[in-house]
C-alpha cells in the first residue's frame, strides 16, 4: 500500500498500554515546559468558526474545510478549523495579554484533503500557541531565539521521558541549523523541496528552514503558506531527522505574524486582496490586533518522533484506507 511504508525489521518497542502511558507523559511534560519557557497560559479554543469571517487557516489556499450550516443560527455556515493561526491573535486582544505573554491550546482539526501516509492523517492535533511581541521584536534574531527555546523544550522532554521509560532512546540534537529556503535551494539545486528537507535533516539533525511562502529562484515557493498570518520573511519550519523513516519530520510551522504592511504585500503577491474584506484582515491592516509570534507544534508527530514510531497511526486514532490496519498488523505495527 502506497500509504504504508514500514522499514524492514521495524517493531514497536512497547505494547499498546505502555505506548498510551508514554503518549500522556510526553504531552503533559512538553506542554508544561513549553508554557514555562515561552510564558504562556492554556486557554480554551474552538473547533468551529464561521465561514464568513476569514478566521480559518487557508493552508495552501486549495484545501476544502469541512463546512455545514447550523440550523439554530439561521443556517449560517460554519467550518471545522484547519488550525487556529488567526483565531489566536484575536484571542490575545480579547484577553488583553501584555507584551511577552501569550497563550497555548489543544487544537483538534480535520484536514479532509491531506494525504494519508506514515506522517500524515486527516485528523490533526497540535499545540497552537501565540504570544504578544513588540514591534522591535519583529526580527530574524528574535525568531531564531524562540525556535531555539522550543527545541530546548523538546530536548528536555526527551531526556525526562528516557528516565521514565527505558525503551525511549531518541537523542534530540538541540543545536539548530538555521538556513533559509533560498540557501537550501542553492545548496541542493536539483532536489525538490521535500528532498531538500530530507537532506538537511539527515545532515544536521535539527533544522529551522526559514522564509517559506515567497518564490525562490526557480519561480516556485519552497512550500505553500497562507499569505495572511505568517510574515514570509520571518517564518519557517522546525525539521527533525526521523531515524526510523530516514527522513525529515516537520514538527512545527511557525513565525512572526503579518503586520499592516506585510499582509497587504503578501495578499497582493498571492492575488488574494479580496480577503481584505474579512473582519480579521481589516483588523490587521488597520493595526487593531497585537503584533505576535506563534505557531503549531504537532502533538502526534512529537510523540511519534520521541517514541520512535514508524506510523502516526501508532500514536493517534484516525481513519485509514481499507486494509491498512490489517497490512500493518502483518508487519508488526499496531494502529490505534
As annotated, the active-site residues are 57, 111, 126, 237, 250, 253
- The C-alpha cell at 192 is 525538490
Closest CA to 61 of 297, 295, 270: 270
Euclidean distance between CA atoms 153 and 127, whole angstroms: 13
Angle between helices 140-164 and 299-306 (to 10 degrees): 50
- The C-alpha cell at 151 is 527545541
Euclidean distance between CA atoms 313 and 303, whole angstroms: 11
User: Residue 54: how many CB atoms within 10 A of its CB?
Assistant: 20
Look at residue 142 and give its three-state secondary structure. Answer: helix
- The C-alpha cell at 155 is 530536548
CA atoms within a 13 Å half-sphere pointing along the CA-CB vector of 159: 10
Amino acid at each position: 500500500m502506497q500509504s504504508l511504508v514500514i522499514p524492514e525489521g521495524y517493531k514497536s518497542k512497547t505494547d499498546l498500554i505502555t505506548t498510551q502511558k508514554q503518549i500522556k507523559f510526553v504531552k503533559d511534560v512538553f506542554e508544561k515546559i513549553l508554557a514555562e519557557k515561552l510564558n504562556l497560559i492554556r486557554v480554551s479554543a474552538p473547533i468551529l468558526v464561521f465561514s464568513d469571517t476569514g478566521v480559518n487557516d487557508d493552508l495552501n489556499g486549495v484545501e476544502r474545510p469541512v463546512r455545514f450550516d447550523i440550523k439554530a443560527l439561521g443556517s449560517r455556515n460554519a467550518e471545522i478549523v484547519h488550525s487556529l493561526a488567526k483565531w489566536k491573535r484575536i484571542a490575545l486582544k480579547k484577553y488583553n495579554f501584555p507584551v511577552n505573554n501569550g497563550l497555548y491550546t489543544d487544537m483538534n482539526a480535520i484536514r479532509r484533503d491531506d494525504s494519508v501516509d506514515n506522517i500524515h492523517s486527516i485528523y490533526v492535533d497540535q499545540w497552537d500557541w501565540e504570544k504578544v511581541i513588540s514591534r522591535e521584536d519583529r526580527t530574524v534574531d528574535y525568531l531564531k531565539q524562540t525556535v531555539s527555546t522550543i527545541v530546548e523544550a523538546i530536548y528536555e522532554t526527551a531526556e525526562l521521558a528516557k528516565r521514565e521509560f527505558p525503551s525511549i532512546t531518541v537523542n534530540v540534537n538541540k543545536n539548530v541549523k538555521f538556513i533559509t529556503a533560498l540557501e537550501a535551494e542553492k545548496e541542493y539545486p536539483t532536489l525538490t523541496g521535500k528532498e531538500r528537507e530530507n537532506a538537511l535533516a539527515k545532515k544536521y539533525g535539527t533544522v529551522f528552514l526559514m522564509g517559506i511562502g515567497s518564490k525562490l529562484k526557480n519561480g516556485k515557493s519552497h512550500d505553500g503558506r497562507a499569505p495572511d498570518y505568517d510574515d514570509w520573511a520571518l517564518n519557517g519550519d522546525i525539521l527533525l531527522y526521523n531515524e526510523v523513516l530516514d527522513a525529515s519530520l516537520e514538527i512545527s510551522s511557525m513565525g512572526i505574524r503579518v503586520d499592516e504592511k506585510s499582509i497587504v504585500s503578501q495578499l497582493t503577491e498571492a492575488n488574494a486582496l479580496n480577503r481584505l474584506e474579512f473582519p480579521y484582515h481589516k483588523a490587521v491592516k488597520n493595526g487593531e490586533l497585537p503584533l505576535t509570534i506563534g505557531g503549531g507544534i504537532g502533538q502526534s508527530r512529537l510523540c511519534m518522533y520521541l517514541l520512535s514510531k514508524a506510523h502516526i497511526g501508532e500514536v493517534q486514532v484516525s481513519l485509514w484506507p481499507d486494509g491498512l490496519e490489517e497490512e500493518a498488523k502483518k508487519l508488526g505495527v499496531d494502529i490505534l
